[in-house]
Structure formats: structure tokens, C-alpha cells
Amino acid sequence: METLLCVRDLIKTYGANTVLTGVSFDLARGETKVVIGPSGTGKSTLLRCINRLSAPDSGRVTLDGIEITGHEKSLNRIRTRMGFVFQSFNLFSHLTALGNVRIGPMRVKGMSRAAATELAKEELARVGLSEKADAYPAELSGGQQQRVSIARALAMAPELILFDEPTSALDPELIGEVLDVMISLADDGMTMLVVSHEMGFARSVADEILFMDGGTIVEQAPPEQLFTAPTQPRTAEFLRKITTLYGGDAR
């Protein structure tokens, strides 16, 4: 399979605290990888270092062979090819759902207002929110807001979407609607890197699971293998804790 995203030896420190201690992995086009691990192990930092919302101290990230650097112009260009979905949605609060989805194509890609509106309507339909086009973020539930934010990412026609704990800020009954959208994206062949605590989702959608602990990838394997026969003691211990929490089937 063709490698789309390539991450090599990523290191990131905040003061005396080394959050990423050298992370390397590849993501092929059309693949979905889910990053799991205890909190505070740098999973979100890893995503933010990939699209450089945080600049890593060292290491290389390439998208489709192009290195992602701090150079402002090329960074802005490469970010349009790489969607980002935040844990806290971060919808633009002064814009309607439609306005949120439309603004990227319009203001970044220079698409006409009419064309961007059409596109935004399509993307809203794709996440099942056509009837909420004129609603403002504050009028939407968390699950709806997250689906709009996925539509906002999709409207840029990205080659890859990074999901940073997309369901962690949601009430349990709203998680399903967001996961459903993500599952259908995976089915459509979207390349996704997902930080998530949703083990059921990880198990059913991921091509591979990356288990992170202490700022590095401890184990990387297809879900069945990692969940049933982890090779690393730390992975096993983490899975045991989760199992106690969620019940027998690790969810």
C-alpha cells in the first residue's frame, strides 16, 4: 500500500517534561489507525505535532512525500490536505453550521460563495445534518457540533483526517452518532488517524492499533491481535484496566 503519512522520531518537550520521546509510524492511503493509551502519554500532542499546531522539537513528518515544516506558506498549503477534528469541536461560534463548513473552501481555497454553499450543503448531508444548516453552534447538541466539525474538515477534501478524541467531550448517548459518521468515512476509504478511548470503535474500524505509553509507541498491531494477544506487558496491563472498567469485551 502507498504510504501517505510518514512520522519519524518525533520528539516534543514542554519545559522539563518530554511528552513525545521519539514516535515513528506510517499510515497508508485509505488506512485507519487508532491511537490508544493512558492519558498524559502524548496522544493528542502527537496529532498536534503532525499538523504542527504544536511544533515538534525534532523529527520528520511527511505527507505524500512532502515534508511538513514550519515554513508558513507551505504549512498553510499542506494543512488544507489534512483535516483536524478537535475534542472540543471548536466550531466558529459566530457562524451557522453551514457557515462553518463553507468558510474553509471560501476563505482558504478561494471558492465562490455559491459553489462553497453547495459543497457545504453536501457535506452537511453526508453527516446527516441538512436540516441544521442554519443553526448556530450554541443551538446544537455536542454530537451535532462534532458532526458539523467533521463536515467542516471534509469540505476541504482532505487526504487524511486527524481525530483528537472526537467523542471524549460527549454525553454517552451522543457518542454513537459521531462514531457512525466516522465508520462510514472509513468505509468510504478515508485515511484516518484517530486518538480514541472507544475500544469498540477501535476494534471494528481500525486496520491497526497504536498503543502509546510514556511518549512512545509501545506496541502496534491489528486490533484482534493487540486486544487478544498483546506482546508487551504494558499493553496487557492497560487492556486489563480497561476491561475491568468496561466489562468483558473491552468496551
Partner 1 sequence: MEALLAVSRQMPMLLRASVLNIELLLALVAIGFVVGTSVALCQVYGGRTVRTISGVYEWVFRSIPALVLLFLFYFGPAQFGLRIAPFLAAGLALGLRSSAYQSQIFRGAIQSIPTGQLAAARALGMSRMRAVITIILPQALRLSLPGWSNEFSAVVKDTTLAYAVGLNEIMRAARVVYDRQYELAMPVLLAVALVFLLLTFAGNFILGGVERRWHIPGTETAGGGPQADRSR
Q: Which stretch binds partner 1 (CB under 8 A): 25-33, 84-92, 198-206, 235-243?
A: 84-92
Residue with cell 514516535: 23
Residue 72 binds to partner 1 (criterion: CB under 8 A) = yes
Backbone dihedral region of 64: left (phi > 0), alpha (psi from -120 to 50 degrees) or beta?
left
Q: Kindly compute the dihedral angle of the four CA atoms of residues 208, 37, 39, 25, in this order, to the nearest 10 degrees.
A: -50
Backbone dihedral region of 77: left (phi > 0), alpha (psi from -120 to 50 degrees) or beta?
alpha
Nearer to partner 1, 95 or 250 (CB): 95
Q: By CB under 8 A, name the one of 12, 33, 43, 79 that touches partner 1.
A: 79
Nearest distance from residue 194's CB to partner 1, in Å?
A: 16
> Strands 82-85 and 32-36, how do they pair?
unpaired
Q: By CB under 8 A, name the one of 32, 41, 44, 51 that touches partner 1.
A: 51
- Please give the Cα distance from 98 to 130 (Å, whole number): 9
Q: By CB under 8 A, name the one of 10, 35, 91, 195 that touches partner 1.
A: 91
Residue 112 binds to partner 1 (criterion: CB under 8 A) = no
Nearest distance from residue 26's CB to partner 1, in Å?
A: 22
> Within the chain, how many helices (H) and strands (E) appear?
9, 10
Binding site for partner 1 (CB under 8 A): 51, 53, 72, 76-80, 83-84, 86, 88, 90-94, 103-104, 107-108, 135-140, 149, 152, 156
